[in-house]
Chains A and B, each alone.
Chain A
Amino acid sequence: MSPGEGTPSQIRRRIVLSGVGGQGVLFLSRLLAEAAVSRGLPVIASETHGMAQRGGVVVSHLKVGSFDSPLVRAGGADLLLVLKEENVPLHLPFLREGGILVVNAPGGYRGSPGARAGSVDADAAALSAGYPQGANLVLLGFALARFGRETAGGLFCTVDELRDAVSKRYGAGSARRAAALAALDLGIARGT
């Protein structure tokens, strides 16, 4: 942890989110960006649009704190969230030495040298909850619970702030809001 990290002006996080078209990578990066804005933190992020969204590889970069560039340079990510296990070799070079890797892996992820890693079968969990589109939120909840925001390089927001961000996305009392919050909570339970 860098000195004085508790103050908003000093929080700096570089996060890379990786998946394939249709998994909700963009949704996650928008959600995290909204959580940052709610905290009053500056945020800049980069999204993938167009052809890649037709089932191709989708990667989002998210930088919270004082940054100019929307991209994370190789070796610079504090946190790498991977929604499709086969993307790990593709995007692992983004992770910095000692960074955190969180993978959606049905069989459990064996880990990588030099990285703190955690994995959860987010697809199965989301499917069991009757909300297959919620695998992205399961993974996010898991990452937050397992590595927290107090750990150097973990997330920058609290569980409640993420819940707020999810709630703001959907209408009050809507079924999708309930399902999305349930997926997040499921991930938090798996990571605790």
Chain B
Amino acid sequence: MGDRILMSGNEAVARALVEAGCAVAASYPGTPASEILSSVDRWRKASGAAMHVEWAVNEKVALEIAYTAAVSGLRAAAAMKQVGLNVASDPFLSAAYLGVTAGFLVVSADDPGPHSSQTEQDSRMLAMAAKIPVLDPASPAQAMEWTRRGFDLSEAFGVPVLLRPTTRVCHAIQDIEAGPIRVPAREARFVKDPARWAATPVFRRMLHDRLAEKIAAIAAWPATAPIRANPGFPSRTAVVASGVAFAHVREIFRELDAAGGIALYQVVQPYPLHAGFIDHLVETYDSILVLEESAPVIEMQIADRRRVRGRMTGAVPATGELSPEILFRVVSRFAGLEEVGEAWHPQPERRRPTLCPGCAHRSAFYAIRKAAPGGIYPSDIGCYTLGINLGAVDTVLCMGASISQAAGFHYAHRLSGKPADIVATIGDSTFFHAGIPPLIDAVVQGARFVLVILDNGTTAMTGNQPTPGTGIGAGGEKTEAVDMEGIVRACGVRFCRTANPDRLPEFVALLKEALAYSREDGVAVVIARAPCATAVRSAAAGRSSAAVAVSAECNGCRHCVDRFECPALVYDEQAKRVRIDGMICTGCGVCIHVCPVGALRQAPGEEGAS
């Protein structure tokens, strides 16, 4: 004890979970929450604590697994990103009514910006809809402290508690003093009470009343009351902030003399906002500026609309991350300073993200465009969303929607008498997460499309977490592995073939066969199986192909650069031809089949290299 350890917000949450005796932790990876579960497992191993730690198949399952432990008297937590909480919203809302018998924490990491998400929604709004209290830390250190406090709150009132960090908390790193790890002493004991755990609507109504009473009491709980950050002077104006916006504003207050007379508050628990605090605000201050991400959750709970400024009144931009630059301008205005100019924004990034060199998804996308030119290409959530650069991704809605959208496109176009070739892509982890029900639906409804499952044996985008197909658990232990082909066939699909997309000509031929089947007979599934290039690279094992050289025949047509878009293929503007960036080329050799004039060749002397 006493040592200061460098921890990210995610690591800090994980450390606090293990320290607090959390016995069951489950998660599905998603930026910015992914590192929470892997860190839990690291601290579990270091401490020898008996825990069940799992990468669940999706967030709904993760929440239900953890919740059930908390119904059985053990502390538990489920971690996910904000769109994952959408997936888990069904048990989340119901769990609020039924409550818990031991501390239960849901960690939902929001992504204002958004930096790496489909939406910049505010999980605190879902907490409000569920009547679940939510804590909103400003830093990794607070994330750690409030994880512990979240368990206390959960146990004091028998309710689930939401901890809502944002990207700037999850992926901030800070020196934090770690505490001792408490090995859980409690034993699991589920006490039967069907009127509660299996409540019928009549009982639900009673449970709802009880939940409302709990929320009213939580709105007066001292341990999560708002904190005055600059006590010691009376004022007629106040700034009320939560989350990382508070951290930014606190620094701005130190720099800005004009903010000297303004009271500054940090809200710990945005919902339910403490009733006494609301009264204090409207009784004391003429003007109250609320700074929070990303929805006006605190702002809308302050009853006196004439005194409140924030996202709803236009004093703060209605959407987007509250950067220090934006907050400096907003606070300066509120402090009565003259116009301080437009807030600076980083220029749009000129460099777009792209699939890694040697990534087999690139081969699959190139083949899809070859086999089905002019087709419709629904896709899904993962690295392969970057297939948009290759013109092989037309839609991305949410986890698993590639399959429902492929079916939806088929029905819509069939009605018009103009069926289209449709090739959907979904990753292996996403398929297990949310792809199976829509595949069953498509088969039953007679949809016609090709589904390419991009099976790289990992959840690559979020840091290579295992999938149910890999037979590896969260701690690296061996588990049962699920047979993907077996699932596809069990869904009723009659055409299911597996191939390596890096064997490009053969893969194009297979896709054409699948397309011909889909036009006449129904859903065809092609499993494109090749390991993730990052996983292969870190294992220092090259793929079974040779290094590539550019011959004199290169005429600078740019086909490989524009249509294959491998970062290792560089167009030399002066020489008007392509060269290979040997620093990053993995030697997969797929581009040899891409060049229309055959100028990309196996490098001499590399024959038979493995």
Assess whether B572 is interfacial by the CB under 8 Å rule.
no
Contacts of B355 in A (CB 8 A): 54
Interchain Cβ contacts under 8 Å between A and B, 11 examples: A42-B175, A45-B172, A48-B115, A51-B116, A54-B355, A69-B250, A69-B324, A70-B169, A71-B168, A72-B324, A132-B583
Among candidates A43, A75, A93, A127, residue contacting B6 with C-beta atoms closer than 8 Å = A43
Assess whether B344 is interfacial by the CB under 8 Å rule.
yes
Assess whether A172 is interfacial by the CB under 8 Å rule.
no
| A45-B173 CB under 8 A given contacts A51-B116, A54-B353, A71-B323 | yes
Asked if B115 contacts A47 (CB within 8 A), the reply is no
Asked if A20 contacts B116 (CB within 8 A), the reply is no
Give B residues with C-beta under 8 Å from A. Answer: 4-6, 8, 31-32, 34, 115-116, 138-140, 168-169, 171-175, 244, 246-248, 250-251, 323-325, 328, 344, 346-347, 349-356, 383, 385-386, 461-462, 567, 583-584
Assess whether A190 is interfacial by the CB under 8 Å rule.
no
Smallest Cβ-Cβ distance to B141: which chain A residue = A44
| A55-B354 CB under 8 A given contacts A49-B32, A67-B251, A71-B323 | yes
Asked if B351 contacts A56 (CB within 8 A), the reply is yes
Assess whether A118 is interfacial by the CB under 8 Å rule.
no
Docked CA distance A3–B462 (Å): 45
Among candidates B8, B169, B353, B567, residue contacting A51 with C-beta atoms closer than 8 Å = B353
Interface flags for A106-145 (1: CB within 8 Å of B; 0: not) read 0000000000000000000001000010000000000000
| A71-B324 CB under 8 A given contacts A43-B6, A46-B172 | yes
Contacts of A42 in B (CB 8 A): 174-175
Docked CA distance A86–B351 (Å): 9
Smallest Cβ-Cβ distance to A46: which chain B residue = B172
A49-B116, A51-B386, A54-B386 known, 4 other contacts, Cβ within 8 Å: A21-B353, A44-B139, A49-B34, A56-B352
Contacts of B325 in A (CB 8 A): 73-74
Asked if A89 contacts B353 (CB within 8 A), the reply is no
Which of A20, A43, A47, A68 has the most C-beta atoms of chain B within 10 angstroms of its own C-beta?
A68
Docked CA distance A51–B384 (Å): 11
| A20-B115 CB under 8 A given contacts A43-B6, A70-B172, A71-B168 | no
Smallest Cβ-Cβ distance to A29: which chain B residue = B173
| A71-B248 CB under 8 A given contacts A52-B116, A55-B567, A86-B351 | yes
Which of B32, B115, B172 has the most C-beta atoms of chain A within 10 angstroms of its own C-beta?
B172
Smallest Cβ-Cβ distance to A70: which chain B residue = B172
Smallest Cβ-Cβ distance to B245: which chain A residue = A69
Smallest Cβ-Cβ distance to B111: which chain A residue = A50
Assess whether A57 is interfacial by the CB under 8 Å rule.
yes
| A73-B324 CB under 8 A given contacts A49-B32, A55-B351 | yes
Among candidates A50, A55, A69, residue contacting B461 with C-beta atoms closer than 8 Å = A50
Among candidates A54, A69, A86, A91, residue contacting B346 with C-beta atoms closer than 8 Å = A91
| A46-B139 CB under 8 A given contacts A54-B356, A56-B351 | no
Contacts of A68 in B (CB 8 A): 138-139, 246-248, 250-251
Asked if A30 contacts B6 (CB within 8 A), the reply is yes
Contacts of B344 in A (CB 8 A): 74-75, 93
Q: How many residues of A contact B (CB 8 A)?
A: 42
Docked CA distance A5–B260 (Å): 26
Smallest Cβ-Cβ distance to A133: which chain B residue = B583
Among candidates A37, A70, A71, A132, residue contacting B175 with C-beta atoms closer than 8 Å = A37
| A50-B324 CB under 8 A given contacts A33-B173, A37-B4, A68-B138 | no
Docked CA distance A30–B328 (Å): 28
6 tightest A-B contacts by CB?
A50-B116, A50-B31, A56-B353, A70-B172, A73-B324, A54-B353
Docked CA distance A21–B350 (Å): 14
Among candidates B5, B247, B352, B353, residue contacting A70 with C-beta atoms closer than 8 Å = B247
A63 to chain B, nearest CB (A): 9
Among candidates A29, A30, A37, A46, residue contacting B168 with C-beta atoms closer than 8 Å = A46
Asked if B244 contacts A52 (CB within 8 A), the reply is no
Asked if A20 contacts B173 (CB within 8 A), the reply is no
| A69-B350 CB under 8 A given contacts A49-B32, A74-B325 | no
Among candidates A29, A43, A50, A74, residue contacting B115 with C-beta atoms closer than 8 Å = A50
Contacts of A86 in B (CB 8 A): 350-351
Interface flags for A60-88 (1: CB within 8 Å of B; 0: not) read 00000001111111110000000000100
Contacts of A71 in B (CB 8 A): 168, 248, 323-324
Smallest Cβ-Cβ distance to B385: which chain A residue = A51
Assess whether A1 is interfacial by the CB under 8 Å rule.
no
Contacts of B115 in A (CB 8 A): 48, 50-52
Asked if A70 contacts B244 (CB within 8 A), the reply is yes
Which of A46, A72, A127 has the most C-beta atoms of chain B within 10 angstroms of its own C-beta?
A46
Contacts of B246 in A (CB 8 A): 68
Docked CA distance A74–B246 (Å): 18
Among candidates B174, B353, B462, residue contacting A55 with C-beta atoms closer than 8 Å = B353
Assess whether A185 is interfacial by the CB under 8 Å rule.
no
A80 to chain B, nearest CB (A): 13
Assess whether A175 is interfacial by the CB under 8 Å rule.
no
Docked CA distance A91–B346 (Å): 7
Asked if A90 contacts B346 (CB within 8 A), the reply is yes
Smallest Cβ-Cβ distance to B116: which chain A residue = A50
Contacts of A52 in B (CB 8 A): 115-116, 353
Smallest Cβ-Cβ distance to A42: which chain B residue = B175
Asked if B171 contacts A44 (CB within 8 A), the reply is no
Docked CA distance A116–B377 (Å): 50
Docked CA distance A30–B344 (Å): 27
Docked CA distance A45–B170 (Å): 11
Smallest Cβ-Cβ distance to A93: which chain B residue = B344
Contacts of A47 in B (CB 8 A): 8, 171-173
B245 to chain A, nearest CB (A): 9
B326 to chain A, nearest CB (A): 10
